[in-house]
C-alpha cells in the first residue's frame, strides 16, 4: 500500500491535513469547552453548517478528481451525492421505527400515508447500519460503473459526456419525484431521529458528525492525492490532454476513466451520506442539474486539478451562499451567475492558480511540491 502512503510525503498534503486537523480541533473545543455566552463560543448551528461545508468540500474533491485530472466534466455528480444521501436517509428512516407519526413498526410514514402494506424489496436491509453504509458506496459506485462502462467504452467524451451526465441526473430527479418509486416523492426522506443510537438533535452528535465529515474529507483527499500522484494519475493527465496518444501507448484509457470515475462517484456518495444527517432531509432537489453544475463552479473557482482548490472553492461559495441567502436572497443567483462568468473568463486557474503564483514568487528557490512546481525541481 505504498501508493496510499505517498501523499503523506508531499508538502502540500501535509499542509492541507495540518490546517484541516487544526480547524477541526479548534471548532470542536470552542463549541464544547466554552459556555454558550462566551464571545468565542461556536454555536452548534455553526458547527453543523461547517460540517455541511465539509461534506460539500468532499464532493468538490470528487468532482475535481474527474474534471481536473481526467478531463471529464461531469454535470451529474449531484446524482452520486444524492444516491449516497438516499442510502443514508433510508437507514435513518428505518431507525425511526415506530416513533413516526403513524407509529407503524416497520413502514416509514410516507408509505403508510400512501397505503402501502409492506416494505418494497429495495428497502430491505437498510435497518442494518453496515448494509446501509455499504450501499452509500455501492449505489453510486454501481451507477457510475454501468454508466461509465457504456459511455467510456463507446468513447463518449467532452461535451457529449457532459450533456448526457446532465441528462442522467435529470432523469433520476424526475424518477425520484414520483411517489411510486418509494423514496418519499417530492418530500423525500426526513424527520430522522437517531444515527447509530445517537440522538441527531443532541449537540454532541452534531459535533461528532462535523468531525466525521472532516475525517472523511481528509481520507478522501488522501485517496485522491494517492491516485493523482501515482503513475495512474499521470496516465489520467496524459489521457486528458491527448487521449488517442495515451491509447496508442497501450493504456486502456476507458478503463482508467472508469476506475477513477467510480472512485469519484463513491466519494461523492460518502459526501452525500454525511450531508443528510446534518441537514436532516434528503429530497429529489439534490438531483437537480443546477446543483450538479454548481459543484463544478466551486471547483472552477478554487482551481482545477489541485484538489485543495476544490475544498477552498466549495467552502467559499457555500459560505457566500449562506450569507447572501440570509441578507439578500434575490441577489444570490446574480452572484452565482456572475461567478460562473468571471471565473471562467478571468480566472481560469482559480484561486489555487493565484496562490501558486504567489508561492512561486515568494519561495522560488525552495524544492517543489505536488505537481504545480514539479518542473522546477532541477532547473
Minimum CB–partner distance for residue 99 and other proteins (Å): 32
Minimum CB–partner distance for residue 149 and other proteins (Å): 8
Compute the distance between CA of residue 287 and CA of residue 175 in angstroms, rounded to an integer: 10
Compute the distance between CA of residue 299 and CA of residue 302 in angstroms, rounded to an integer: 5
Q: Which is nearer to other proteins, 47 or 260 (CB)?
A: 260
Minimum CB–partner distance for residue 111 and other proteins (Å): 20
Q: Which is nearer to other proteins, 131 or 170 (CB)?
A: 170
Q: Which is nearer to other proteins, 215 or 336 (CB)?
A: 336
Minimum CB–partner distance for residue 39 and other proteins (Å): 37
Minimum CB–partner distance for residue 162 and other proteins (Å): 6
Minimum CB–partner distance for residue 77 and other proteins (Å): 14
Q: In this structure, what C-alpha cell is assigned to residue 189?
A: 426522506
* Per-position b or e across 11-32, b if 16+ CB within 10 A of its CB: ebbeebbeebeeebeebbebbe
Q: Which is nearer to other proteins, 206 or 349 (CB)?
A: 349
DSSP state of 69: I
**Helix, strand or coil for residue 73?**
coil
Strands 198-199 and 189-190, by their bridges, are: unpaired
Distances 244 to 157, 202, 371 between C-alpha atoms, Å:
12, 55, 23
Dump the DSSP string for 181-217: GSS-GGG-EE---EETTEETTSHHHHHHHHHHHHHHH
Q: Which is nearer to other proteins, 51 or 309 (CB)?
A: 309
Q: Which is nearer to other proteins, 112 or 238 (CB)?
A: 238
Q: Which is nearer to other proteins, 100 or 350 (CB)?
A: 350
Q: Which is nearer to other proteins, 88 or 300 (CB)?
A: 300
Please name the helix (run of DSSP H) or strand (run of DSSP E) that holds residue 282, with its range, or none.
strand 281-282
Given a contact cutoff of 8 angstroms between Cβ atoms, the answer to whether 59 and 215 are in contact is: no
Alpha helices (H) in 65-192, listed in sequence order? 77-96, 109-113, 129-153, 158-177
Q: Which residue has the cell 453496515?
A: 130
Minimum CB–partner distance for residue 80 and other proteins (Å): 16
Minimum CB–partner distance for residue 67 and other proteins (Å): 8
> Which region, left, alpha or beta, applies to residue 202 given φ > 0 means left and ψ of -120 to 50 means alpha?
beta
Residue 332: HSE in the Cβ half-sphere, 13 Å Cα cutoff: 15
Amino acid at each position: 500500500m505504498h501508493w496510499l502512503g505517498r501523499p503523506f510525503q508531499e508538502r502540500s498534503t501535509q499542509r492541507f491535513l495540518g490546517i484541516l486537523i487544526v480547524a477541526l480541533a479548534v471548532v470542536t473545543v470552542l463549541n464544547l469547552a466554552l459556555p454558550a455566552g462566551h464571545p468565542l463560543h461556536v454555536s452548534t448551528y455553526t458547527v453543523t453548517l461547517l460540517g455541511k461545508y465539509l461534506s460539500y468540500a468532499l464532493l468538490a474533491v470528487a468532482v475535481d478528481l474527474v474534471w481536473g485530472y481526467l478531463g471529464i466534466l461531469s454535470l451529474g455528480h449531484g446524482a452520486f451525492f444524492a444516491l449516497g444521501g438516499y442510502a443514508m436517509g433510508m437507514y435513518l428512516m428505518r431507525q425511526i421505527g415506530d416513533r413516526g407519526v403513524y407509529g407503524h413498526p416497520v413502514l416509514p410514514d410516507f408509505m403508510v400515508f400512501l397505503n402501502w402494506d409492506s416494505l418494497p424489496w429495495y428497502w430491505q436491509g437498510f435497518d442494518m447500519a453496515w448494509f446501509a453504509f455499504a450501499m452509500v458506496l455501492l449505489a453510486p459506485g454501481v451507477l457510475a460503473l454501468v454508466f461509465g462502462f457504456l459511455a467510456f467504452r463507446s468513447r463518449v467524451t467532452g461535451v457529449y459526456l457532459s450533456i448526457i451526465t446532465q441528462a442522467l441526473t435529470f432523469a433520476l430527479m424526475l424518477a425520484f419525484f414520483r411517489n411510486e418509486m418509494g423514496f418519499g416523492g417530492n418530500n423525500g426522506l426526513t424527520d430522522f431521529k437517531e444515527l447509530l443510537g445517537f440522538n441527531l438533535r443532541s449537540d454532541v452528535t452534531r459535533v461528532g458528525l462535523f468531525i466525521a465529515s472532516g475525517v472523511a474529507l481528509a481520507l478522501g483527499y488522501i485517496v485522491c492525492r494517492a491516485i493523482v500522484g501515482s503513475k495512474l494519475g499521470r496516465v489520467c493527465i496524459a489521457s486528458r490532454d491527448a487521449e488517442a496518444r495515451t491509447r496508442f501507448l497501450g493504456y486502456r484509457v476507458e478503463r482508467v476513466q472508469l476506475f477513477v470515475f467510480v472512485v469519484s462517484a463513491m466519494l461523492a456518495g460518502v459526501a452525500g451520506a454525511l450531508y443528510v444527517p446534518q441537514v436532516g432531509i434528503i429530497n429529489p432537489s439534490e438531483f437537480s442539474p443546477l446543483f450538479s453544475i454548481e459543484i463544478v463552479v466551486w471547483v472552477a473557482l478554487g482551481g482545477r486539478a489541485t484538489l485543495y482548490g476544490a475544498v477552498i472553492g466549495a467552502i467559499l461559495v457555500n459560505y457566500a451562499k449562506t450569507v447572501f441567502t440570509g441578507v439578500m436572497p434575490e441577489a444570490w443567483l446574480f452572484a452565482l451567475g456572475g461567478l460562473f462568468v468571471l471565473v471562467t473568463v478571468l480566472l481560469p486557474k482559480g484561486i489555487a492558480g493565484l496562490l501558486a503564483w504567489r508561492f512561486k514568487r515568494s519561495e522560488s528557490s525552495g524544492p517543489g511540491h505536488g505537481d504545480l512546481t514539479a518542473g522546477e525541481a532541477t532547473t
